[in-house]
Amino acid sequence: MARLGENRYGKSRVRLSRITRTGERHEFNEWTASVLLEGDFDASFTAADNSGVLPTDTMKNTVYFVARRSKAATIEEFAMELGDYLLAHHSHIAKVSVEVEEKAWERMVTDGVPEPATFKLGGPELQTTHAVREPKGAWSIRSGVDGLTILKTTKSAFTGYIQDELTTLKPATDRILGTCATAIWDYSAPKPHFAEARARIATALLKTFAAHDSMSVQHTLFDMGKAALEAAPEIARIRLTMPNLHHLLADLRPFGLDNPNHIFVPVDEPHGYIEATVER
Whether 54 maps to a domain, the answer reads yes
Co-location of 153 and 263 in the same domain:
yes
Quote the distance between the C-alpha of residue 223 and its chain's center.
19
Catalytically annotated residue among 26, 56, 90, 226 = 56
Catalytically annotated residue among 11, 60, 130, 212 = 11
pLDDT digits (tens, 9 = 90+) for 34-68: 999 999 999 999 999 999 999 999 999 999 999 99
**Structural domain span for residue 81:** 9-138
Q: 59-93 as b/e, with b when 16 or more CB fall inside 10 Å?
A: bbebbeebbeeeebebbbbbbbbbbbbbbeebeeb
Co-location of 124 and 169 in the same domain:
no
Co-location of 159 and 255 in the same domain:
yes
Averaged pLDDT for residues 219-245: 98
Tell me whether residue 11 is one of the annotated catalytic residues.
yes
Q: Are 140 and 152 in contact (CB under 8 A)?
A: no
**CATH number of the domain encompassing residue 70:** 3.10.270.10
Looking at the structure of the chain, the number of domains it has is 2
Cα atoms in the Cβ-side hemisphere of radius 13 Å centred on 37: 26
pLDDT digits (tens, 9 = 90+) for 185-218: 999 988 899 999 999 999 999 999 999 999 999 9
Whether 4 maps to a domain, the answer reads no
pLDDT digits (tens, 9 = 90+) for 112-163: 999 999 999 999 999 999 999 999 999 999 999 999 999 999 999 999 999 9
Co-location of 19 and 125 in the same domain:
yes
> What pLDDT is stored for residue 268 in this prediction?
87
Q: Quick one: pLDDT band at residue 21, thresholds 50, 70, 90? A: very high
Tell me whether residue 246 is one of the annotated catalytic residues.
yes
Whether 48 maps to a domain, the answer reads yes
Q: Report how far apart, in Å, the C-alpha atoms of 216 and of each of 46, 204, 213, 241 are.
A: 52, 19, 9, 14
pLDDT digits (tens, 9 = 90+) for 81-94: 999 999 999 999 99
Give me the chain's average pLDDT, please. Answer: 97
Please give the model's pTM, rounded to 2 decimal places: 0.93
> What pLDDT is stored for residue 158 in this prediction?
96
Residues 174, 58: Cα–Cα separation, whole Å? 55
Residues 17, 224: Cα–Cα separation, whole Å? 32
Co-location of 256 and 153 in the same domain:
yes
Catalytically annotated residue among 60, 130, 246, 247 = 246
Co-location of 231 and 184 in the same domain:
yes
pLDDT digits (tens, 9 = 90+) for 245-264: 999 999 999 999 999 999 99
